[in-house]
Each structure stands twice: as C-alpha cells, then as structure tokens.
Amino acid sequence: MTEHVEYTVSSERELKALAAKVAASLPDRLVVALIGTLGAGKTRWVQGLAEALGVPREQVTSPTFVLSQEYLGTRLIRHVDLYRIADEDEFWELGAEEWFTGDGITCIEWADRWIDCLPPDRLEVHLEILGPTERRVTLRGTGPASQSIVERLADTQAPVNHSPESGRQG
C-alpha cells in the first residue's frame, strides 16, 4: 500500500502540470487540503487544477481577503483560504458543512490551521519550498477515496520529476 507519493517540481509550470494530473483523478466530491508556508505554491496549485477542469487561469486568485470563491468549469471548484479564520465558529460560519457534503472539489489553503475540522477522507497536498522555483510536493490520502487517488498516481508515470521515495510499502 502506498502511504504517500512525493514529487519534486522545478518550475511553476511543472507544479501546475502535477495539479492537472491530480485533477484528472479526482472524484466529483473531495476536499483537497493544501498545506505549506507563504509562497509555497498553494494558489498556483489551485490554478493548475482549475485550469485542467476548464476554468480560465485569470479567474483563479487567492481568496485571502474574500475567504471563499467558487469556479465552475467541467466541475464545481470551491477555493477557500483559512489563514485569517480566528476560531472554529468562524470556520463553520463560512459554510464548511456545504463544502464537505455538496458536490464539487473543495481546495482549502492553510488547511493545517483547522485540520481537525476537515473530513477524515481528504487529499493532503504538502508543498515545501526547496529553492526559488523548486518545490517538494507530497500527496497523502487520509481515507478510502483519497487513498485510491494516491495509489493511482503512484502507479502511473508523472509529467514531472517523480521521486523514488514515494512511500511505497511492501
């Protein structure tokens, strides 16, 4: 069983290509939890995913100040930023229950701030800065639906630099 799959990307173009590859594997309803420091590429990831699902790139901007945005391409995409959320009540007041139960893909930036409020089955995308444009991207499934995505990605050739340390367990 593959616990996680890890990639190293050397450019924004490669990061978006990886997000597009993941987009092709997503079910109609799933939470994608984006975890990384400021500038790690969370919004760029969502842009790549949304573009792959038919949303023009210029429509996808960071929801830092509006907190939540929706885009409609071939599927509904919710884009949420939890950076400025002060407490659990505010989190739920944003409409989190709808994000988790309604159709669509919900991409949550700064998901680690409220990870305990997220559904148990989610795809975690950990973005780590390695250099000016280089990133390590670790995809981890936390339940059956998200784990099957990780399994499929581990078994296919990636369009970016796939690390041999993909977390494959014997």
C-beta separation of 139 from 151 below 8 A: no
Closest CA relative to residue 76, chosen from 99, 57, 92: 99
C-beta separation of 74 from 60 below 8 A: no
Query: What is the reported pTM?
Result: 0.87
Half-sphere exposure of 139 (CA within 13 A, CB side): 30
Architecture per CATH, 4-162 = 3-Layer(aba) Sandwich (3.40)
Of 38-47, 132-141, 154-163, the poorest mean pLDDT is in 154-163
Would you list the domain boundaries of the chain? 4-162
Q: What is the DSSP string of the chain?
A: -B-EEEEEE-SHHHHHHHHHHHHTT--SEEEEEEEE-TTSSHHHHHHHHHHHTT--GGG----TTT-EEEEESSSEEEEEE-TT--SHHHHHHTTHHHHHHSSEEEEEETGGGGGGGS-SSEEEEEEEE-SSS-EEEEEEE-SHHHHHHHHHHHTS--SSEE-S-S-B--
Half-sphere exposure of 29 (CA within 13 A, CB side): 9
Provide the CA 146 distance to its chain's centre, in angstroms: 11
105 band by pLDDT with thresholds 50, 70 and 90: very high
pLDDT in tens, 137-166: 999 999 999 999 999 998 874 444 444 444
pLDDT in tens, 54-96: 998 888 877 665 677 889 889 999 999 999 888 888 888 888 8
- In this predicted structure, what is the pLDDT of residue 67? 77
